[in-house]
C-alpha cells in the first residue's frame, strides 16, 4: 500500500468532493454520504478522511467566508487535485477491467 493507494471511504469522499464542488466541506459531505450512499459516519471520521486525502495530495482545501449558522466560523472547502483525479480514474479502471473479465457476472 503506497501513498497513491486509495481506500474505499476515501474514494467515496473524493467523489463527493467532485460532486459537491463549492459546497464540499465536512458536514455537507457527511450529509450527502448519508443521503446518496446510505452510510452514516461521524463528523470526526469525515474530517479524518479529508485530512488524510489532503496529506496524500489527492485533495486541497481553502477557507470560505464565515457564516452565521456556523457561529462565525468559516468552512473549509475541499477541491480535488490532479493526482486525486488520476487516483479516481485508476481505481475505476481497475474495477472496470476486472468486471470485464467476468462476463457471467457482468451480464446480470
Partner 1 sequence: MKRRYHIPRAAERLIRSICKSDYTEEIIGDLYEYHDEITGKPRWKRGVYFWFHVFNFIKPWSIKSFEGTQNLNHYGMFKNYFKTSYRSLRKNALFSFINVVGLAISMSIGILMILVISELNSFDSMHTKADRIYRVAGNKFMYGQEIDIPMASHYIGLEMEHQTPGIEEVLIMRDGVDVDLRTEAGAINIKGFYTTESFFDIFSFELLKGNPETALLEPNGVVLTQSTARKIFGDKDPLGEPLEMESTGGWQVRNIVGIVTGVMADLPSNSHLQFEVLVSMETYDQPAISGTGWHKGYKSVHFWKSTHVYVLLDKETTPLAIENSMAEILRDYNAEQEHPVTYTLQSMKDFVTSDKLGNRVGPRFSRKQLGIMIGLTIVVLISACFNYTNLSLARALRRAKEVGIRKVSGARRHQVFTQFIVESILLSLISLILAIGLFLLIKPAFINLPNPASSGHDMFLLNIGALQIVYFVTFAIVLGVIAGILPSVFLSKLNTTIVLKDAGTIKPLAGISLRRILTVLQFALSIGLIMSAVMVNKQYQFAVNFDMGFNTERIINIKVKGDYASKLEATLQRIPEVEQTSISLMTMATGQAELARVESEDKEHKGRIFWNSIDEKYLSMHNFELVAGRGFESPLQGQTLGNQVILNEHILQSLQLGSPEEAIGKFITIHGYARGKYQVIGVVENFVNTSLNAGHDSDIMKEKNFGFIQGMPGFSNGQIGVKFRSDNLVDLVQKLETAYLEFDQKHPFEAEFYNDQIAETYRAQKTTVTLISFLAFLAISISMLGLLGMAVYITESKMKEISIRKVLGAGFVNLMTLLSRGFAFMIIIAAFIAIPITKYILDDKILGQFNYRPETNLMDLLSGFLIVLLIGFFTVTWQIRQAAIRNPSDLLRNE
Interface with partner 1 (CB under 8 A): 25-27, 42-45, 47-48, 51-52, 63, 68-71, 73-76
Q: Which CB, 68 or 104, lies closer to partner 1? A: 68
Cell 476486472 locates to 98
Nearest-approach distance from CB 48 to partner 1, in angstroms: 5
C-alpha cell at 72: 462565525
Q: How many beta carbons lie within 10 A of that of residue 81, not counting itself?
A: 17
Nearest-approach distance from CB 90 to partner 1, in angstroms: 25
Q: Which CB, 36 or 74, lies closer to partner 1? A: 74
Nearest-approach distance from CB 35 to partner 1, in angstroms: 13
For residue 35, give Cα distances in angstroms to 28, 40, 69, 77, 81: 11, 9, 21, 20, 25
Amino acid at each position: 500500500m503506497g501513498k497513491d493507494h486509495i481506500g474505499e471511504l476515501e474514494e467515496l469522499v473524493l467523489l463527493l468532493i467532485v460532486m459537491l464542488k463549492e459546497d464540499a466541506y465536512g458536514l455537507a459531505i457527511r450529509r450527502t454520504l448519508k443521503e446518496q450512499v446510505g452510510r452514516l459516519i461521524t463528523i470526526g471520521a469525515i474530517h479524518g478522511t479529508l485530512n488524510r486525502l489532503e496529506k496524500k495530495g489527492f485533495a486541497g482545501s481553502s477557507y470560505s467566508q464565515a457564516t452565521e449558522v456556523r457561529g462565525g466560523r468559516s468552512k473549509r472547502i475541499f477541491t480535488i487535485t490532479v493526482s486525486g483525479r488520476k487516483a479516481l480514474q485508476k481505481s475505476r479502471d481497475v474495477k472496470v477491467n476486472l468486471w470485464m473479465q467476468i462476463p457471467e457476472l457482468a451480464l446480470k
